[in-house]
């Protein structure tokens, strides 16, 4: 066989391999996109809207998951869990007489639970990003509650909005105390 035929055969093999590699990567990218959409749910769409590009959003969400996996998130001891439940009950009781103060106390209590569980708590956006990995369907509640709390500090919130914030904080608080939820969430990402 002449040399030029061997070169054509080698070139054809290279082209076929390149097409296969592109097809596999493209399929892997679609699978990754579907996994991220399924795991993050509404948070996926929020980040896509914020970034303006699905690929940039997927990169952000994958980075969040990698950062979260490096954290040592621990379950609360039964004593700590009961203490937090008792403190929450008191904050909830206080809401009747002083909703503004109770919303601030709820914010602090949620942050304290996060700290004890092992989440970094220095920056709200980082807290929300970390929570979005374990609790993607609750993180929007957390953002809404925090936004209302911030507006409340400026005096821009009525009692109904304070009630909304409190309900949102309660949803996250309950999830943070339910450690079985975190384990299944991590398994779904693995």
Task: Tell me the per-residue pLDDT of 68-98, one tens digit each, with 9 for 90 and over.
Answer: 999 999 999 999 999 999 999 999 999 999 9
189 neighbors 133 (Cβ within 8 angstroms): yes
Q: For 156, left (φ over 0), alpha (ψ -120 to 50), or beta?
A: alpha
From CA 79, how far away is CA 63, in angstroms rounded?
Answer: 34
**What pLDDT score was predicted for residue 1?**
73
Angle of CA points 127, 133, 137, to nearest 5°: 95
**What pLDDT score was predicted for residue 110?**
96
Phi, psi of 169 (to 5 degrees): -60, -40
Q: Count other C-beta atoms under 10 Å from residue 52's C-beta.
A: 8
**What pLDDT score was predicted for residue 190?**
35
From CA 115, how far away is CA 148, in angstroms rounded?
Answer: 22
From CA 94, how far away is CA 98, in angstroms rounded?
Answer: 6
**What pLDDT score was predicted for residue 22?**
66
**What pLDDT score was predicted for residue 92?**
95
Q: Which residues contact 141 (CB under 8 A, 6 or more apart)?
A: 167, 168, 169, 171, 172
**What pLDDT score was predicted for residue 31?**
74
**Helix extents (H) in 3-121:** 3-40, 42-51, 54-70, 78-97, 99-117
Tens digit of pLDDT per residue, the chain (190 long)? 778 777 878 888 888 777 767 656 655 555 778 888 888 989 998 999 999 998 899 999 999 999 999 999 999 999 999 999 999 999 999 999 999 999 999 999 999 999 999 999 889 999 999 999 999 989 999 999 999 999 998 888 999 999 999 999 999 999 999 855 443 344 344 3
76 neighbors 113 (Cβ within 8 angstroms): yes
Phi, psi of 115 (to 5 degrees): -60, -45
């Amino acid at each position: 066989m002449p040399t030029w035929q061997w070169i054509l055969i080698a070139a054809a093999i290279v082209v076929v391999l390149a097409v296969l590699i592109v097809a596999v990567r493209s399929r892997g990218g679609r699978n990754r996109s579907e996994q991220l959409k399924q795991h993050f749910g509404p948070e996926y769409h929020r980040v896509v809207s914020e970034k303006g590009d699905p690929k940039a959003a997927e990169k952000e969400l994958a980075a969040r998951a990698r950062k979260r996996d490096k954290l040592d998130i621990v379950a609360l001891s039964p004593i700590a869990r009961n203490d937090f439940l008792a403190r929450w009950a008191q904050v909830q009781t206080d809401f009747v007489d002083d909703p503004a103060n109770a919303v601030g106390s709820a914010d602090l209590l949620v942050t304290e639970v996060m700290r004890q569980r092992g989440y970094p708590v220095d920056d709200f956006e980082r807290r929300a990003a970390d929570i979005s990995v374990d609790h993607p369907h609750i993180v929007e509640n957390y953002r809404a509650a925090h936004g209302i709390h911030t507006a409340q500090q400026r005096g821009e919130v009525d009692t109904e909005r304070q009630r909304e914030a409190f309900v949102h904080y309660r949803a996250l608080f309950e999830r943070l105390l339910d450690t079985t939820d975190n384990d299944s969430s991590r398994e779904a990402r693995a």
